[in-house]
Each structure stands twice: as structure tokens, then as C-alpha cells.
Structure 1
């Protein structure tokens, strides 16, 4: 499995997995989330998503993981809930 060298998963371990048909695949193992303390909270609207918030605050939609890491949600799709504050960490 090719992973970009700048990816947060570049140094993650790999896990072998056997499919039901007997073929072997390699998966990226669990990777701990870095601690990201928020500098402020933005109130989410019904049109906000992680990528739109990253574009607004970092001018880069690919930095959506910074916001996802600051969230307590396990699933990134649960990090933005309309009407609830979204923690925005620094861009570092």
C-alpha cells in the first residue's frame, strides 16, 4: 500500500488481513491522533464540513484533519454538527 511520505500515516505500522476469498491485503494499523488543543471554537452551520472549515481558517481544505484531531468524535463525519461548536486548533 503506497502512502505519501508526508502523510500522517507514513510511519504507521502495517497489518496483514485475510479476505474471505483467501487473498491477503495489507492495511494501515491504528495511528494515535496527535494532541491538538483548540485556540477557539466556531459555531457550525448546516453547510459546514471539515473541508469547508479548513478552507475558511487555514486556506487549505486538505488540513481538515487538524480540525478532526481536535474533536472528541471518533468518526470525522461526526466532528461537525450544525448548531454545535467546532474546536479549531492552530495552523501548525
Structure 2
């Protein structure tokens, strides 16, 4: 079940067959949109993605916006190394 407002809510659900023939439903790979208009930020010791999301978006559950803006690093723990420069995008989920 996908919750309304989820970043996956608009993603197509497809049925696929496993090698043994078992069929299951899954989501099509989500395309990460380009993130223009970003702030460059230097990670401080002890910071976490949810803390940054709370600070910049007033919602710790929007940490995934920061992950989407930094696709070169798939490991969120490596992304948050102190001293690393990361991109903080605008909140594209906010009403305009």
C-alpha cells in the first residue's frame, strides 16, 4: 500500500514473474527528477539527514529530497560524513 503524498504514489505498479514462475507486484523504478536551485551545505559532525530535513523543510521525513539531490552517493551514512559538501534542494513537494 502506498500512502497519499508518498513520493512513490504516482509510480506505476507492474506484475513480474520470478525465475520460478511466481508472479508478484512491484513498482517501476522511480525516476529521480533533476534538482535545480540547490543550496550547497557542508556537513557538520553529528548531523543526520532527518535533522537537516527538519531544519530546511520543517519535516524530518523529507530527508529523501536531500538524497535525490545527491545521487552520486547511494549510502546515506557516507553522504553525511563531516566536511562533505552536499546539495540541499528546494522542497518540490510544497504547494506553490
Q: TM-score, normalised by structure 2?
A: 0.73
Deviation at 1:85?
Answer: 0.9
Unaligned runs of at least 5 residues, structure 2: none
Structure 1 gaps of 5+ residues are none
1:1-92 to 2 correspondences below 5 Å:
2-18=1-17, 23-75=22-74, 77=76, 78-92=78-92
TM-score (norm 1): 0.76
CA distance in 1, matches of 2:37, 2:47: 18
Q: Alpha-carbon deviation of 1:23?
A: 4.8
How many residue pairs align between the two structures? 91
CA RMSD of aligned residues (A): 2.3
* 1:37–1:23 Cα change, 3 Å: same
Q: Distance in 2 between matches of 1:24 and 1:40?
A: 44
- What does the per-residue CA deviation read over 1:19-72, in whole Å, with 9 as the maximum and x for residues that have no partner? 688654322220100111243211112312211110111111011121111113
